[in-house]
Amino acid sequence: MSAIQITQQNFESEVLKSEVPVLLDFWAPWCGPCRMVGPIVDELATELQGKAKIGKINVDEQSELASQFRVSSIPTLAVVSGGKVLQTTVGAVPKVQLIKMLGL
């Protein structure tokens, strides 16, 4: 299973109403560090199925969401749980740090 593509249309149902924590990866196809983080995010989507939800937000296509999260640099990774942003980090980070951010 790969990460869910999050859009303005499915944001509420996939993120805000999620029963499990959600890791959001704000990225763009032209971003080098984003391409480094992408495979890690996809691995987590498979490994954490049922424990967490992993979503990707293309900042070029979903500028409203990027602005809502005040994303100024990418990749930005944010953990949302219970409709609230619990943690954010900017830049390429190791897999273990993302798992810690999720509280798993």
**Marked catalytic residue, from 31, 74, 77, 78:** 31
The reply to whether 13 belongs to the active site is no
The answer to whether 31 touches 64, Cβ cutoff 8 Å, is no
Strand order in the sheet with 84-90: 4-5, 53-58, 22-27, 76-81, 84-90
Is residue 31 annotated as a catalytic residue, yes or no? yes
Among residues 34, 41, 54, 98, the one annotated as catalytic is: 34
Which residues are marked as active site? 31, 34
